[in-house]
Structure 1
């Protein structure tokens, strides 16, 4: 997985699929950098959050399990190991299960996984191991995804399967399906709309570019500036009665 958001941080960082070479950038909403709220008792993201490369949740494909189309992004991962990862870090993970979030009518799978280098990784082989070894973590995960947009004035999110987690085999099938959709995208057999598929590694893709082309793209990017200070309201804790 590619780590977009380290655990316990709030900045809504994500792979920018519409830009060349898909850099990780902070989401902007109404002209402001986006941060997720702290909804009591949670502080920021409660896992290392990121995505599996070479996957795509096709917005033109209705998922047979959820009845909803994909959200037009790579498949998301919640990594539950003990290490707080760094933004942009690429780690190998063991898939344990998945949760089917329905976000504004779109299927948004959340894969539960653990870093293979975690000291306890050998003890985790399926979703029930998470329930046994980390009591309350899966319930907290459902609670987080259900309520994290409420401070922004949006309703609670919904889930397929009544918020039930599916196991490892089910999750692997979902990932394989999104990988097939990605292969169709990268070979122009599916329409990705505004998604920028420029890449250096898929030699049979019409979007494949040279090292020189990629370097020119990076060199043309504006220089990094000093980080903006984090707004004080990001540290606020939100409280409200669960529905």
Structure 2
């Protein structure tokens, strides 16, 4: 087992796109667990999956196979994300019933057929229905992160409903990377992260972060504990291989703190 030099921000690799390619045939390749192993060996700090009800990418057996794999990596984390009003809570309960590791549940308000996650929770509208599910997730021993838009005024409400962290939805920042709006977007995320920290929340981030925009984001946005990256990272891995890709994403993280 390889031991990496850990940076202040953890890189969690979302493996949904590996499963998506595998599911186009019945050969079991590319292997999701092999991808996870190579990423962990190269220094990834965690693995993320988003098992949607239609199993269009990650399937239920993948969730358990990866949890079993992570038993051999006690210093790494397993993050399962999804809508707690669909299948997420049942999946989490079964992981724990099997005695497998589960470090974080990221609650995402996506619809069943949604192309990809594209907005966060809103308060006070979602507060009362989320509260018991957050408590249940924490009773299972999982940290709870809420997928949120970068709205500073919403952060105290996320804390009040019981969340441990927020995951800032970063697609608007990524979309602005090559435009004159980049600095305005960075300021939005800086303010939202600071509001979250001030409220006593941890801060995660994810969605369309990549090797071009990651360093600037982490230099500007305070206190980011984890970035969850899937689509861009797997696209890079098709060209560079998993190991070189993880090394370079960790370089991007390290450069932000140099």
* Structure whose residues are more often helix by fraction: 2
**TM-score (norm: length of structure 1):** 0.26
**TM-score (norm: length of structure 2):** 0.24
* Structure whose residues are more often strand by fraction: 1
Larger radius of gyration: 1
